[in-house]
């Protein structure tokens, strides 16, 4: 099948946290549009390999990249490896995140604190720090961070530590948008609501999800595929060239800021 001419043709893309869920769906879509995609994972090798295989099977270009972005030196190396492999970086998506269980702040352990902060804040900060330097030098490219509805609501049922960390992600998105704008680089974020992914299969009970649906005007959970359009829109400068420092909420109306 011939591809439609696309602004994504040969766009060099790295997606951190792309082995399942939203990251995997974004990787497949961008590759289908003609982007060359690096699929990053940390723990879920089988998931990442199946994403790369699915992309290659449908005629797209994809590569695997493994490592723990929550460690500063690893994150820097991964961004460098991605840039070296692709020749440049057009689109950097920071989607690696996890809740590490639900707990009230008063009951949170030191271990949970470090897990949540290291990955959800550290992973984004370390990857952005290195990517920002590269994009600045290129004078081109765009960064899209994955935040969460919990960044604005404080989360529910023990998701507060995660929500607070995502508040950092939303804010550093605005910081980077200001810092990188003079170099022609845009930085935005997507804030998913309650999306049916492994993330919730691990962290949420059926009762919690049923409760969440009651507060969602569209009356159902979202899918990973339904988040993809926001990333595509933000990555495509022909559509969003004058948009930077924004958070797009994809939540079925659960929160209308």
Residues known to be catalytic:
162
- Residue 2 is classified by DSSP as P
Find the Cα–Cα–Cα–Cα dihedral 85, 118, 125, 92, rounded to 10°: 40
Cα separation, 26 vs 32, in Å, equals 10
91 backbone dihedrals φ, ψ, rounded to 5°:
-135, 125
Q: Whole-angstrom Cα distance, residue 141 to residue 146? A: 17
Q: State how far the Cα of 132 lies from the Cα of 136, in Å rounded to an integer.
A: 6
DSSP-based three-state secondary structure for 13: strand
Tokens of 23: 């990251």
Q: Are 237 and 142 in contact (CB under 8 A)?
A: yes
The CA distance from 157 to 216, in Å, is: 16
Q: What dihedral do alpha carbons 116, 120, 121, 123 form, nearest 10°?
A: 120
């Amino acid at each position: 099948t011939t591809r439609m001419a696309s602004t994504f043709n040969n766009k060099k893309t790295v997606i951190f946290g792309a082995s399942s869920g939203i990251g995997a769906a974004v990787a497949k879509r961008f590759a289908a549009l003609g982007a060359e995609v690096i699929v990053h994972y940390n723990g879920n090798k089988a998931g990442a390999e199946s994403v790369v295989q699915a992309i290659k099977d449908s005629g797209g270009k994809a590569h695997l990249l493994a490592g723990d972005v929550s460690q500063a030196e690893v994150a820097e190396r991964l961004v460098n490896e991605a840039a070296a492999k692709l020749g440049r970086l057009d689109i950097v998506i920071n989607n690696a995140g996890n809740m590490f269980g639900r707990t009230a702040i008063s009951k949170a352990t030191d271990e949970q604190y470090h897990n949540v902060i290291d990955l959800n804040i550290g992973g984004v900060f370390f990857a952005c720090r290195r990517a920002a330097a590269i994009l600045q030098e290129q004078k081109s490219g765009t960064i899209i961070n994955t935040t969460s509805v919990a960044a604005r609501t404080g989360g529910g049922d023990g998701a507060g530590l995660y929500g607070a960390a995502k508040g950092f992600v939303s804010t550093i998105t605005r910081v980077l948008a200001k810092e990188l704008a003079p170099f022609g680089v845009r930085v935005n974020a997507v804030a998913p609501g309650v999306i049916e992914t492994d993330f919730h299969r691990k962290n949420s009970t059926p009762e919690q999800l049923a409760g969440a649906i009651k507060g969602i005007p569209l009356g159902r959970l979202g899918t990973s595929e339904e988040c993809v359009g926001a990333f595509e829109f933000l990555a495509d400068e022909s559509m969003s060239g004058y948009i930077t420092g924004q958070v797009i909420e994809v939540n079925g109306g659960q929160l209308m800021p």
